[in-house]
Amino acid sequence: MASADERGELLANVLQNPDDSGACQVYGDWLADHGDPRGELCQIQIRLAAASAGDVTLDADERSDLERREKKLLAQLRKAFNRRYATKGTRWVTRLGMIRELSIDTAAFIAHGEAIVAEEPIETLALWKLSREMLAPLARCPALARIGELVLRQHPLRAEVATLLASPHLQRLRHLELRACKLGAPGGRELRKLDARYLPLLRSLAIPQNAIGDNAAAALARSPLLAQLEQLDVATNNLGGRGVAALVGSLQRVRRLDLSANYFGEQACARIAAHEGLRALEMLDLEFCRVGGDGIAHLARSPNLGALRELDVSCCHIDDEGAVALAASPRLGSLERVRFGATASLEALDAGNFQRDAFNHAGARGIAALRERFAEGLSLRTFVDGQWRES
């Protein structure tokens, strides 16, 4: 077998099985035997991974030597990568000697993406310098078909995000993040085009800091895709009770849900508590949602939140009654960790010229109940003798 054909066969096995240390070991050994320093990187990272898993034992000197050599080889790889693909500032994470997470200039990926994914089992792709004019060529890029997680942050996509969502190359996508992309209401409405037929594997959607509003949220909620999500992040989106209720009502298998910094209040909490589609929910973030003590009481009585393990209710205007209801809940039997944030009486907040919205209002009775129930799993700060103290 010709060397090029043999390398291609071994690489194809790695691309198909990137977490298989055996496949990576065979490929790395072949590269090392043929004078390619990438082979040594594979060998070193496989050995370090085995040590971390407890499969092999390394003394301190051996580990230090391997890590020092690994650092040098990674620097060489970065230099060669940037030169080959005419880009700068590329960042990545390698595992078992292969690039698995890549952060790269969008223009470089559009131009060289196919060549990159033909050599590296890229799982997570983060793009920067993405303009709206680049959305169409990006959507046409066949290299996207190899990506499992696509991360776009702080790009002014607005309504033109629809161009990307129409890409025929998102079939493998499991996670999509559009953070602070200035979607607004127009872009938010385009999210309704997220279609389970074209995104059959999508399980995680993060669209925080986009100010989409209730109408766009309601439009998104009508997409059948929400029923397949296991994680949803809609933090800081100018959502009120109507938008939150619509989104939550469309979820059927969600395990992690971030609704933070949306001011929806008690009635939406009642809708959340009543939704049977939250029976698998393990993490709920309500920081800065102003749900109040009555809202928390609805959640505490819910028969649908028995799987909940983590809850963030910082800055939610929760009083003693709400704190006691949370602590005494027989329904939340799996709840282990509660982030309650800073809490003080209204009188103490006013005396200290603190903004009420940034705090809970539970006093000694509520705090004592929370401490008794959650012990080390409770995170809060109290205002004592003019100072904030961690608890």
The last residue of one of the domains, among 50, 75, 100, is 75
For helices 21-33 and 37-52, what crossing angle results, to 10°? 150
When divided into structural domains, the chain yields a total of 2
User: What is the C-alpha to C-alpha distance for residues 296 and 298, in angstroms, rounded to an integer?
Assistant: 5
216 and 348 housed in the same domain: yes
Q: 37 lies in which domain range?
A: 3-75
153 and 57 housed in the same domain: no
User: What is the C-alpha to C-alpha distance for residues 247 and 249, in angstroms, rounded to an integer?
Assistant: 5
The last residue of one of the domains, among 75, 109, 131, is 75
- Asked if residue 376 is part of any domain, the answer here is yes
CA dihedral 279, 280, 283, 287 (to 10 degrees): -30
What phi, psi does 273 have (nearest 5°)?
Answer: -60, -30
At 326 the three-state DSSP class reads helix
185 and 295 housed in the same domain: yes
The last residue of one of the domains, among 22, 53, 75, is 75
280 and 151 housed in the same domain: yes
- Asked if residue 162 is part of any domain, the answer here is yes
69 and 147 housed in the same domain: no
CB 265 within 8 A of CB 288: no
Locus of tokens 């006691």: 324
User: What is the C-alpha to C-alpha distance for residues 251 and 232, in angstroms, rounded to an integer?
Assistant: 9
- Asked if residue 82 is part of any domain, the answer here is no
CB 3 within 8 A of CB 35: no
182 and 276 housed in the same domain: yes
Report the DSSP beta bridge partners of residue 101. 93, 124
Distances (CA, A) of 243 to 295, 305, 350: 16, 20, 32
Residue 258 backbone class (left: φ over 0; alpha: ψ -120 to 50; beta: rest): beta
- Asked if residue 95 is part of any domain, the answer here is no
- Asked if residue 96 is part of any domain, the answer here is no
- Asked if residue 100 is part of any domain, the answer here is no
- Asked if residue 312 is part of any domain, the answer here is yes
Q: What is the CATH number of the domain that holds 290?
A: 3.80.10.10
64 and 193 housed in the same domain: no
224 and 343 housed in the same domain: yes
User: What is the C-alpha to C-alpha distance for residues 197 and 240, in angstroms, rounded to an integer?
Assistant: 29
224 and 371 housed in the same domain: yes
Nearest residue to 275 (alpha-carbon basis) of 311, 303, 239, 295: 303
At 367 the three-state DSSP class reads helix
Record the pTM.
0.94
68 and 146 housed in the same domain: no
Q: Taking the CB of residue 133, how many other CB atoms lie within 10 A of it?
A: 8
171 CB-contact burial (10 Å; exposed 0-12 / middle 13-18 / buried 19+): middle
pLDDT in tens, the chain (391 residues): 457 899 999 999 999 999 999 999 999 999 999 999 999 999 999 999 999 999 999 999 999 999 999 999 999 999 999 999 989 889 999 999 999 999 999 999 999 999 999 999 999 999 999 999 999 999 999 999 999 999 999 999 999 999 999 999 999 999 999 999 999 999 999 998 888 888 999 999 999 999 999 999 999 999 999 999 999 999 999 999 999 999 999 999 999 999 999 999 899 999 999 999 999 999 999 999 989 999 999 999 999 999 999 999 999 999 999 999 999 999 999 999 999 999 887 777 777 777 777 789 998 899 999 999 999 999 999 877 777 788 6
